[in-house]
Amino acid sequence: MERFPLLPRNLKVIYAAAFLRSLGVGMTGVILAVYLARLGMSATWIGAIVASGLAGSAALMAGVSFYAERLGRRRSLAIMGGLTVLGGAGFALTTNTAGLVALAFLGMVNGMGTDRGPLFALEQALLPEMVPDERRTVAISWHSLVLDGGHAVGALAAGLPALVSRAMGLDLLASYRLAFGLYSLANLAACLFYFLLESAEGTLPGRATDISQQSRAAVYKLAALSSIDSLGGGLLVDSLIAYWFFRRFGISESGLGLIFFIGHLLNSISYLVAVLLARRIGLVNTMVFTHIPSSLFLVVVPLAPSAPLALALFFAREALAEMDVPTRQSYILAVVKPGERTFASGVTNLTRNISRAATPTLAGFLMQHLALATPFYLGGGIKILYDFLFFAAFRHLKPPEEKEASAGAEKSNGRRGDARGL
pTM, rounded to two decimals: 0.79
Domain annotation covers residue 420: no
Range of the domain at 45: 9-403
Query: In the predicted model, what is the mean pLDDT of residues 36-51?
Result: 93
- Cα distance between residue 159 and residue 341, in whole Å: 39
Is the distance from CB of 28 to CB of 256 less than 8 angstroms?
Answer: no
Residue 372 in 3-state DSSP? coil
Domain annotation covers residue 354: yes
- Cα distance between residue 266 and residue 319, in whole Å: 5
- Cα distance between residue 275 and residue 22, in whole Å: 22
Question: CATH code at 160?
Answer: 1.20.1250.20
Domain annotation covers residue 417: no
pLDDT in tens, 154-212: 999 998 999 999 999 889 999 999 999 999 999 999 999 999 988 655 443 444 446 78
Q: How many domains does the chain have?
A: 1
- Cα distance between residue 372 and residue 198, in whole Å: 49
For 195, what's the count of Cα atoms within 13 Å in the CB-facing half-sphere?
7
* pLDDT reported for residue 203: 43
pLDDT in tens, 386-410: 999 999 999 888 888 887 766 655 5
Backbone dihedral region of 174: left (phi > 0), alpha (psi from -120 to 50 degrees) or beta?
alpha
Domain annotation covers residue 292: yes
Domain annotation covers residue 319: yes
Domain annotation covers residue 419: no
Which residues have a Cβ under 8 Å from the Cβ of 414 and sit 6 or more positions away? none
Domain annotation covers residue 193: yes
